[in-house]
Amino acid sequence: VERAPASNPNPASATAGIAYWLRQRSPTYIARRFRRIVSRYGISPEKAVARTRRLVETLDNYGCSPTFATPGSVVASYPQFMRELSAGGVELAVHGFDHVDFRGLTQQESKSQLIRAAKAFAEAGIPHRGFRCPYLSFSHDQMGFVPDDVFGYSSNEAVWWNLATISDPATAPRVIFDHLSEFYRPTPADDSLVLPRFVGDLVEIPVSLPDDLQLLDGLGRGEDGVGDAWLELLRASHERGSIFTVLMHPEAFDLCADAYERLLAEARSLSPAVWIARLCDVSDWWRELRASSAHIDGASIVVACPPRAFLLGRGLDAGKSGSWAGGYSMLDDRVISFDKQVPLVGAGAGVPSAHIQRLRQLGYLVAEGADAERCAVQIDAGEAQRELEERDLVARIESQPGPLVRLWQWPDGARSALCITGDLDALSLRDYARRVVTL
Ligand SMILES: [Zn+2]
């Protein structure tokens, strides 16, 4: 579907592109952002390259490799540095070819941006697995705006966490904050589980806000303020078993280096553990988890799941290796005997397959057909026909008493996940200037 030309000017010419760019930004925003950009980049790339290496080293001290969303044009300009990053374990994700707002592109332009970028990655010898558009400007409503079979995951949706540490932003100049919020269009973290989900065959991995620029430039917080906000967000996501995908900008690393140290030290110290991973690892894991299944064998269930997965059970007389939140225990075995009721989620006839798929993605083991009726925990067609948000679906299941076995959504005994992801938008002022004049 082509977008209506009235709301989407065709930025095919340079003039139209600049006009569109300017229309999205107030003069005050441009002036404030410009001052900060000039102080953070050099004319040549040395300053940004050294800063990026420092960032990667800092993360590496905690066993963390980041994912950098990088425009194809930047990969094409600095193939050697990109190969150095990639060889060091950094994941590079496609960030368009030019650094453009995808909301201003037609279907054809969007596809061609992503295909050109994928080609630039391939030519530089850099693998790519997923994409994140500049300003998170891609929406899954835009069917056909992404080329088929090029990407395994997308990380373009954002959630906003209401944090006590930033509850009073009124004193700071709001112009940058408001512009960034407008670009990112987050939904409240309270409204979802903040976990990956499949959209078609793409794994969508949500980003957690506020990001570094909202905190530093938008709300005028310093290093301590960024660290406080990230720690609060980490603890909240750990409590909920969510994924915390940090959105950061290497350009601002020197302004909040200590915040990364505090975040990662805390992540390493929490128990149960936090899985620190790259977006491509999360995407792989989500595919593995979805393929898990269970079958009933007499008075036992036999679970087939990835070796790194772990089983939780409640209301069972099974071997346990530790207690877990929500009344569950970690189970030792993958063959679990039961008494009367089958400890799986029974999905009655007429339950939409989308609900069953969603539950399987979350680690629930679902029985259908005649077996469904023997399960202690049920979703029936009546309640499931309604538009159920994933959060409500899970609440339905967890509120029913009776024995239940499920897989936790993260591997290796981890309660939650943490990804450090950043926009490697430019390495010099010259790259940065391209953003204004391309398209
Ligand atoms: Zn960017």
Q: Quote the ligand 1 centre to 171 CA distance (angstroms).
A: 27
pLDDT value, residue 384: 56
Dist. CA 369 → ligand 1 center (Å): 48
> What is the whole-number distance in angstroms between the Cα of residue 135 and the centre of ligand 1?
6
pLDDT, position 354: 86
Starting at the edge strand found earlier in the chain, the sheet holding 366-368 runs 366-368, 342-347, 375-379
Question: How far is residue 215 from each of residues 222, 248, 256, 306, measured CA to CA in Å?
Answer: 8, 10, 10, 39
CA of 246 to the centre of ligand 1 (A): 14
pLDDT of the residue at 350: 85
Gap from CA of 126 to ligand 1 centroid (Å): 18
Tell me how far the alpha carbon of residue 226 lies from the centroid of ligand 1, in angstroms: 19
Q: What is the pLDDT of residue 133?
A: 95
CA 121 to centroid of ligand 1, rounded, Å: 16
Tens digit of pLDDT per residue, the chain (439 long)?
333 333 333 444 555 566 666 677 777 777 777 777 767 766 678 888 999 999 999 999 999 999 999 999 999 999 999 999 999 999 999 999 999 899 889 999 999 999 999 999 999 999 999 999 998 989 888 878 999 999 999 999 999 998 888 876 555 556 667 777 777 889 999 999 999 999 999 999 999 999 998 888 888 888 999 999 999 999 999 999 999 999 999 989 999 999 999 999 999 999 999 999 999 999 999 999 999 999 999 999 999 999 999 999 999 887 788 899 989 999 989 999 998 899 999 998 888 888 899 899 999 999 998 899 999 999 876 665 566 678 888 988 999 988 999 999 999 999 999 999 999 998 887 777 766 544 3
- Using the mean position of ligand 1's atoms as its centre, give its distance from the Cα of residue 180 in Å: 11
Gap from CA of 423 to ligand 1 centroid (Å): 5
| pLDDT of amino acid 2 | 33
> How many A from CA of 277 to the centre of ligand 1?
21
> What are the φ and ψ backbone dihedral angles of 127, each rounded to 5 degrees?
-70, 150
How remote is the CA of residue 162 from the centroid of ligand 1, in Å?
24
State in Å: Cα 174 to ligand 1 middle.
20
Strands (DSSP E) contained in 54-180 are 67-70, 91-94, 130-131, 153-154, 158-160
